[in-house]
Amino acid sequence: TLWGSWLKGKTAAIPELEKAGCDFVVFSGSTVLTAAAEEKTGKILEVEPSISDTMLRAANNLPVDAVFINDDSVREGSLTWQHLIGFQRCVDLLTKPILAPVPADAGSEELKLLWEAGVVGAVVDTEELSQEKFKALRKTIDDTKFLPRGRRRGKLDAVMPRLSGKPTPVAPEEEEEEE
């Protein structure tokens, strides 16, 4: 089982977490760079859904393994279409795997919609999560049939224009003889 730590502050002690067996850390943009410098520990960058498109695209070039779109309003209620639009926007702009928060009582249909939008991981706040709710969510995830995603719309290859009619032949240049 993988486990990780959420670095809530600006600094952290990743070597101690790594010694404890931590597989990954989640950190925000305000975390000091040296705090996330360990190579053995996976790094997940936490961003707000309101981040600009330019900043979001810039995350593609950062040395992180995934991006967590942290929307606190999800934990306060249910997933909405507005949340799904925000997650889809991030998926469309990022090449990194996307993680998104889900409420503890998320159902199979909600998880499928997130998957189809391109979200590859669900993050659940476990502070107020009972063991029974955790087991129920785990069972929901295990029982859900996630279909393989097809080719993503919007990420198409370049298309070259076609010429109509026959191409005009190019006459070879004549070489001038020098005397």
Instruction: Count CB atoms within 10 A of the CB of residue 75.
Output: 16
Report the alpha-carbon distance of residue 27 to residue 12 in Å, rounded: 9
pLDDT in tens, 63-105: 889 999 988 777 667 888 999 999 999 999 999 999 998 887 8
What DSSP assignment string belongs to 138-160? HHHHHH---PPP-PPTT-PPP-P
Report the alpha-carbon distance of residue 167 to residue 161 in Å, rounded: 13
Determine the pLDDT at residue 20: 80
Determine the pLDDT at residue 39: 67
Phi, psi of 74, deg, nearest 5: -70, -40
The more confidently predicted of residues 163 and 49 is 49
Q: For the residues 120-131, what does the mean pLDDT come to? A: 80
The more confidently predicted of residues 62 and 19 is 62
Determine the pLDDT at residue 157: 46
Determine the pLDDT at residue 165: 56
